[in-house]
């Protein structure tokens, strides 16, 4: 257990002082706020002019002076944490400079002598910023109408900007504005557009929004209030007084600077108090009198607004702030009903933050979940708890790379909220509450999400102990790890978790006084909060790790074979690809793999029969090949991608086994032309099967196990004549780990479907009847496998070209197996001594042609790569029907890369399986006439050298593809992460073959 790193009294005193400030520095009229100043809002305040003594005068010259002081040498204004900050700050400030230049007589002081130079430098800087701006990935509040509005106003002054993202910005703007009607602002309901009235200058009658004022402000926004003052037909003294108060008492403290929102009383109070209480500070620590005062004020405002609240008094309510208010009251032992929250914001799949929200907020749903879990009777809200939990897990499963949220730039913030919510849910489950939650959430989704969060958090810690050299972000991470330290599946890496917490706290303690706030929170522009910065740092220094002690119920959700974890971590560390990977990360990746395994096992026998087959020892190892490679370099491809590719991996082994032992068995190998005819017919009718559009992932296999599939009997069908197939017959895949497989200590209790179950389409071929039961069974298995891959949702919604490639590669894959069976049969007719390599006397092509075609296609690499590109296009593109590789160059280089990879993989495979192939009379690379020398070592060295040549070609193709695809910025980076992961996983298998040949079996 790790306790706080500072004397408890010191931290408690600081926390109590913070709560005292919140309770007593709350102005009775305007409220409180500690948000940092924003150039954007300050620029709007600087443009307010008022007639005084018959003369129009700039009302806030100090704000204009603030802009002048903060213009950078190259002409821009600060970009706090995102590209859009610099864009919006600079556009608004440039507009203010132009307004002041056009009306110099409104100023009591002379304009700066270099005003023209400043404007020109600002224009040049903005042009550069706009060229680099990634519009698609911008999340900030209202940018889609604020930036176009600023551009339009500047165009009226003769300033025009062209940039690559302008068309996309206009498209987003038109979509947003098409739903906007001025009448929406004239009614009684407070909508979020009131926070950004400056975007509607010239579009609305500002006199008709006067009734929305709250103590002079327009939804607590200085820029919106300034726009109202500038545009209304009559001067509003109350709004002037509000702006004067913000300039004087806001974060700028009379410097002229103002924040993007003021006040933010409820937001800051509830976030601070709930964070401190959740971190283990007691009510006595924080001061009961002050807490009671805060609780009473929250309760009064909740009652006044019928159980709902916003970030400040009378600004309109939202789910996020309401949830935090409810949580704060619950943590203080007060009754707080979530009924209004549910009635107002519950949707069909998640909770909305606002009534008219465009995109759902992950953090808001986390806050709703935590509020419901802390209710005195959480079981009353089981449906809503499940809805939030499923949405959170679904969001996690679909995110690639850094997880993002609408309200904070740091991925550590939503990860912290996810972990806090799910750990609290497990705590209730462990205490026999919420036991009716679906087992797929408890046994599959939640453990995977939590463990992936742990790996990402540990992996992203810097050498100085920080996360991103940020005190506040490091505080989020420490709070995350303190909760994750509660998990009962950490035996192999527990020391690493506690060490990360210690180093994080040391960094916080050393640097927490370096700043008052950090720019992390998202508003119109990024901002920081002095109160929140203080609260999170105190919480991280005080929280006890682990935060919970779980009992048998949570421990039983997953069972990890620890002996195997340590053994396999040692083995994998000997592979070149993992030679520099920390041992803790190998262990963690193995644990993560075991958490995926139970769900994979539910789908194990859905398509291919296992009767009279050798044990599928490979099955245990497949998850790590994906989790290990995914974690090694921090690719962090989404969990849906990982799971789908795990399924394709084990299906590849099963196809290999089936084709080699059933189709190529002694009882059927003479009928290969009939099987080829069957495959031709399957693909001729493949498009007749309706596609599946509503389900994500491999729900079809899971549906088979639930008994809803039309192919449910496939797994138990036996092939007539298979009784002659010896049970010791092994496929090529078994040579990976040819040892007595350790017994899996995995809980195999059936899980519910991850996704909505559907009835898979009936293969046209499998409805045929024939007197030949053996051919019928082979037809059914191959047809169902083919339809299953081809009608996966990501393939069904892929571009026609990507979809056609999957179809082609699938057919080539199956036909390559028949060719391989035929080649093996011809080769087996030759005398094959067990101690000597035999030269294949009747090859139909050169070795080069064979290894690049039949042999490479037989590995499953090309068809799996085609499938993976469909997954990538569905997750990285902007919609269905996207091309993964968009240009002829990209497509050509990607296919060349795949061909190098498949050839190399086969050569490594043959390198490691020479003796087994010799024993089973299977054709191996070194049997081709090009290989001469006779001695195994000479032949294998030659084969290895050729494989390394293919590796060189693979590296060159990867570099070229990275350059081509990387031009697409964020989307391109996502595609390349997927490609690189695919290559690494394939390479791992090849390296295992080589290592086994050198060092013997795993665990030897």
pLDDT of amino acid 706? 44
List pLDDT tens digits, range 908-932: 999 998 888 888 889 999 999 999 8
pLDDT surpasses 90 at 999: no
Number of domains in the chain: 3
DSSP tag of 714: G
Q: Are residues 410 and 500 in the same domain?
A: yes
Q: Are residues 757 and 641 in the same domain?
A: yes
Q: Are residues 197 and 287 in the same domain?
A: no
pLDDT of amino acid 668? 80
Residue 840 belongs to some domain of the structure: yes
Q: Check which CATH number belongs to the domain holding 525 and give it.
A: 1.50.10.20
Residue at which a domain ends, from 184, 219, 249? 249
724 burial type by CB count under 10 A (0-12 exposed, 13-18 middle, 19+ buried): exposed
Task: Return the C-alpha torsion angle 493, 494, 497, 500, nearest 10.
Answer: -90
The three-point CA angle 567-569-573 to 5° equals 125
Confidence bin at 9 (pLDDT 50/70/90): low
Q: Are residues 873 and 924 in the same domain?
A: yes
Q: Check which CATH number belongs to the domain holding 148 and give it.
A: 1.50.10.160
Closest CA to 64 of 50, 45, 80: 45
Q: Are residues 230 and 344 in the same domain?
A: no
Residue 56 in tokens: 């129009």
Q: Are 635 and 980 in contact (CB under 8 A)?
A: yes
Q: Are residues 226 and 367 in the same domain?
A: no
Q: Are 754 and 702 in contact (CB under 8 A)?
A: yes
Q: Are residues 220 and 298 in the same domain?
A: no
Residue 720 belongs to some domain of the structure: yes
Range 354-368 average pLDDT: 89
- Of the two residues 612 and 720, the one the predictor is more confident about is 612
Share of the chain above pLDDT 70, in %: 89
Calculate the average pLDDT of the chain: 88
DSSP tag of 51: E
Residue at which a domain ends, from 249, 277, 293? 249
pLDDT of amino acid 734? 36
| Cα–Cα distance for residue pair 301/315, rounded to 1 Å | 12
| Cα–Cα distance for residue pair 411/18, rounded to 1 Å | 26
Q: Are residues 196 and 52 in the same domain?
A: yes
List pLDDT tens digits, range 146-168: 999 999 999 999 999 999 999 99
Residue 845 belongs to some domain of the structure: yes
Q: Check which CATH number belongs to the domain holding 762 and give it.
A: 1.10.600
H helices of 197-333, in order, are 222-231, 237-249, 265-278, 283-286, 288-304, 319-331
Confidence bin at 743 (pLDDT 50/70/90): very low
Residue 968 in tokens: 């697409």
- The string of DSSP codes covering 872-936 is HHHHHSSSTT--SS-SHHHHHHHHHHHHHHHHHHHHHHHHHTHHHHHHHT---GGGSTT--SSSH
Residue 376 belongs to some domain of the structure: yes
Q: Are strands 521-522 and 526-527 parallel, antiparallel or unpaired?
A: antiparallel
Q: What is the domain extent for residue 409?
A: 265-548
Q: Are 663 and 818 in contact (CB under 8 A)?
A: yes
Range 713-725 average pLDDT: 35
Count of residues for the chain? Answer: 1004
Contacts 24+ apart (CB under 8 A), 574-578: 574/995, 574/999, 575/988, 575/991, 575/992, 575/995, 576/991, 577/629, 577/632, 577/984, 577/987, 577/988, 577/991, 578/628, 578/632
Q: Are residues 642 and 735 in the same domain?
A: yes
Residue 193 belongs to some domain of the structure: yes
DSSP-based helix, strand, coil % in the chain, nearest 5: 60, 5, 35
Confidence bin at 744 (pLDDT 50/70/90): very low
Residue 23 belongs to some domain of the structure: no
Residue 121 belongs to some domain of the structure: yes
Residue 212 belongs to some domain of the structure: yes
Residue at which a domain ends, from 249, 281, 305? 249
Task: Return the C-alpha torsion angle 366, 367, 371, 373, nearest 10.
Answer: 20
Model's pTM, two decimal places? 0.89
Closest CA to 698 of 577, 582, 792, 762: 792
Residue 653 in tokens: 């082994």
Q: Are residues 458 and 531 in the same domain?
A: yes
| Cα–Cα distance for residue pair 443/747, rounded to 1 Å | 9
Alpha-carbon torsion (33, 37, 38, 43), positive or negative: positive
pLDDT surpasses 70 at 719: no
DSSP tag of 484: H
List pLDDT tens digits, range 277-292: 999 999 999 999 999 9
Q: Are residues 742 and 767 in the same domain?
A: yes
Q: Are residues 902 and 982 in the same domain?
A: yes
pLDDT of amino acid 240? 98
pLDDT surpasses 50 at 721: no
Q: Give the bridge partners for 55, in sequence order.
A: 52
pLDDT of amino acid 5? 60
């Amino acid at each position: 257990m790790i306790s706080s790193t500072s004397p408890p009294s010191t931290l408690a005193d600081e926390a109590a002082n913070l709560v005292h400030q919140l309770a007593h520095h709350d102005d009775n009229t305007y409220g409180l706020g500690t948000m940092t100043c924003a150039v954007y809002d300050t620029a709007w305040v600087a443009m307010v002019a008022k007639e005084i003594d018959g003369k129009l005068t700039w009302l806030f010259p100090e704000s204009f002076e603030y802009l002048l002081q903060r213009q950078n040498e190259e002409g821009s204004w600060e970009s706090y944490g995102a590209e859009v900050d610099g864009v919006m700050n600079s556009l608004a400030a440039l507009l203010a400079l132009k307004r002041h230049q056009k009306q110099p007589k409104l100023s009591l002081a002379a304009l700066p002598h270099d005003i023209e130079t400043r404007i020109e430098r600002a224009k040049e800087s903005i042009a550069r910023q706009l060229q680099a701006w990634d519009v698609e990935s911008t999340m900030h509040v209202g940018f889609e109408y604020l930036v176009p509005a600023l551009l339009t106003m500047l165009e009226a002054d003769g300033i025009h900007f062209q940039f690559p993202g302008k068309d996309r910005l206009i498209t987003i703007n038109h979509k947003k504005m098409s739903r906007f009607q001025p009448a929406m602002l004239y009614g009684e309901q407070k909508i979020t557009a009131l926070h950004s009235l400056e975007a509607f200058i010239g579009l609305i009658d500002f006199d008709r929004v006067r009734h929305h004022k709250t103590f002079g402000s327009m939804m607590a926004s200085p820029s919106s209030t300034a726009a109202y003052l500038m545009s209304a037909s009559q001067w509003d003294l109350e709004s002037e007084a509000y702006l004067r108060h913000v300039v004087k008492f806001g974060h700028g403290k009379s410097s002229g600077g103002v924040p993007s929102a003021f006040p933010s009383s409820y937001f800051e109070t509830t976030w601070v108090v709930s964070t401190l209480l959740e971190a283990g500070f007691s009510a006595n620590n924080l001061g009961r009198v002050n807490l009671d005062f805060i609780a009473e004020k929250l309760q009064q405002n909740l009652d006044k607004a019928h159980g709902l609240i916003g970030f400040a008094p009378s600004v309109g309510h939202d789910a996020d702030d309401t949830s935090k208010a409810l949580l704060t009251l619950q943590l203080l032992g007060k009754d707080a009903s979530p009924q209004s929250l549910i009635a107002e914001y519950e949707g069909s799949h998640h909770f909305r933050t606002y009534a008219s929200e465009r995109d759902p907020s992950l953090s808001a749903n986390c806050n709703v979940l935590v509020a419901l879990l802390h209710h005195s009777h959480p079981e009353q809200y089981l449906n809503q708890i499940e809805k939030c939990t499923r949405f959170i897990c679904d969001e996690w499963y679909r995110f690639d790379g850094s997880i993002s949220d609408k309200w904070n730039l740091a991925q550590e913030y939503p990860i912290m909220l996810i972990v806090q919510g799910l750990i609290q849910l497990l705590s209730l489950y462990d205490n026999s509450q919420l036991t009716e939650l679906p087992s797929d959430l408890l046994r599959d989704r939640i453990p995977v999400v939590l463990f992936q969060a742990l790996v990402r958090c540990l992996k992203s810690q810097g050498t100085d102990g920080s996360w991103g050299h940020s005190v506040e972000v490091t505080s989020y991470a420490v709070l995350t790890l303190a909760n994750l330290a509660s998990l009962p599946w950490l035996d192999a890496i527990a020391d690493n978790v506690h060490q990360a917490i210690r180093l994080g706290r040391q960094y916080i303690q050393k640097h927490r006084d370096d700043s008052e706030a950090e720019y992390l929170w998202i508003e119109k522009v990024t901002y920081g909060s002095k109160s929140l910065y203080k609260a999170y740092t105190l919480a991280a220094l005080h929280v006890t790790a682990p935060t919970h002690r779980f009992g048998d119920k949570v421990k039983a959700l997953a069972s990890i074979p620890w002996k195997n974890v340590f053994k396999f971590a040692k083995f994998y560390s000997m592979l070149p690809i993992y030679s520099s990977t920390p041992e803790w990360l190998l262990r963690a990746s193995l644990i993560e793999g075991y958490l995926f395994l139970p769900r994979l096992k539910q789908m194990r026998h859905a398509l291919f029969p296992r009767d009279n087959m050798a044990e599928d020892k490979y099955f245990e190892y497949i998850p790590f090949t994906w989790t290990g490679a995914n974690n090694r370099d921090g690719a962090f491809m989404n969990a849906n991608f990982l799971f789908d590719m795990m399924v394709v991996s084990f299906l590849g082994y099963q196809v290999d086994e089936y084709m080699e032992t059933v189709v190529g068995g002694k009882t059927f190998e003479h009928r290969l032309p009939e099987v080829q005819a069957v495959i031709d017919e399957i693909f001729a009718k493949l498009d007749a099967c309706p596609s599946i559009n509503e389900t994500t992932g491999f729900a079809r296999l899971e549906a088979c196990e639930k008994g809803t599939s039309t192919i449910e009997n496939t797994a138990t069908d036996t092939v007539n004549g298979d009784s002659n197939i010896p049970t010791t017959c092994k496929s090529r895949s078994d040579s990976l780990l040819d040892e007595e497989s350790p017994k899996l200590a995995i809980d195999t209790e059936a899980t519910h479907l991850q996704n909505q179950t559907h009835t898979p389409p009936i293969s046209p071929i499998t409805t045929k009847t024939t007197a030949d039961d053996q051919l019928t069974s082979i037809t059914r298995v191959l047809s169902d496998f083919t339809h299953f891959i081809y009608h996966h949702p990501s393939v069904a919604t892929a571009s026609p070209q990507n979809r056609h490639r999957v179809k082609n590669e699938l057919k080539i894959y199956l036909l390559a197996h028949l060719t391989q069976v035929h080649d093996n049969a011809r080769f087996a007719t030759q005398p094959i001594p067990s101690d000597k390599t035999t030269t294949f006397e009747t090859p139909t092509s050169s070795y080069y042609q064979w290894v690049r075609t039949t042999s490479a296609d037989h590995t499953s690499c090309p068809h799996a790569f085609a499938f993976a590109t469909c997954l990538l296009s569905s997750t990285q593109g902007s919609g269905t029907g996207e091309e993964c590789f968009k240009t002829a160059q990209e497509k050509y280089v990607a296919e060349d890369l795949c061909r190098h990879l498949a050839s190399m993989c086969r050569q490594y495979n043959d390198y490691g399986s020479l003796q087994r192939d010799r024993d089973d009379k299977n054709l191996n690379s070194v049997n081709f006439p090009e290989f001469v020398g006779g001695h195994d070592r000479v032949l294998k060295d030659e084969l290895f050298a050729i494989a390394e040549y293919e590796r060189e070609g693979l590296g060159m193709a990867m570099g070229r593809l990275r350059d081509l695809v990387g031009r697409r910025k964020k989307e391109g980076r996502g595609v390349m992460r997927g490609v690189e992961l695919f290559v690494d996983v394939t390479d791992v298998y090849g390296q295992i073959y080589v290592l086994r040949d050198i060092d013997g079996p795993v665990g030897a």
